[in-house]
């Protein structure tokens, strides 16, 4: 199982990624070892996640979300029925 996620960084920016273990990935981001992008924007919090059937599906969805405007990403987060874990 793969997941696509959006993090809200400490400075308010949004970061999109994919993983097979959300909890471990968010913890790695907060330790500053998961991404150069989030390292200087700590702490991060999980704002949104969705399941993907495969790694390739997760990568495609991640790319699609990254192309969205900030406003569209915020709508995606707001309209989600899932609470972050």
Contact criterion met (CB below 8 Å) for 3 and 58: yes
**Does any domain span residue 27?**
yes
pLDDT for residue 84 is more than 60: no
**Does any domain span residue 58?**
yes
The pLDDT score that the predictor gives to residue 81 is 72
What is the C-alpha separation between 78 and 52, in angstroms, rounded?
Answer: 20
**Does any domain span residue 60?**
yes
User: For all residues of the chain together, what is the average pLDDT?
Assistant: 94
**Does any domain span residue 85?**
no
Task: Please provide residue 60's backbone torsions phi and psi, each rounded to the nearest 5 degrees.
Answer: -65, -45
CATH code at position 68: 3.40.1440.10
Domain range spanning residue 67? Answer: 2-79
**Does any domain span residue 84?**
no
Q: How many structural domains compose the chain? A: 1
pLDDT tens digits for range 25-63: 999 999 999 888 999 999 999 999 999 999 999 999 999
**Does any domain span residue 57?**
yes
**Does any domain span residue 65?**
yes
Record the pTM: 0.91
């Amino acid at each position: 199982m793969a997941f696509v996620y959006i993090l809200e960084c400490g400075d308010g920016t949004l970061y999109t990624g994919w993983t097979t273990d959300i909890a471990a990935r968010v913890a790695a981001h907060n330790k500053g070892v998961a991404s150069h992008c989030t390292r200087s924007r700590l702490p991060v919090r999980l704002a949104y996640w969705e399941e993907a059937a495969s790694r390739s599906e997760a990568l495609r969805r991640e790319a699609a979300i990254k192309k969205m405007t900030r406003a569209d990403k915020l709508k995606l987060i707001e309209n989600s029925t899932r609470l972050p874990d």
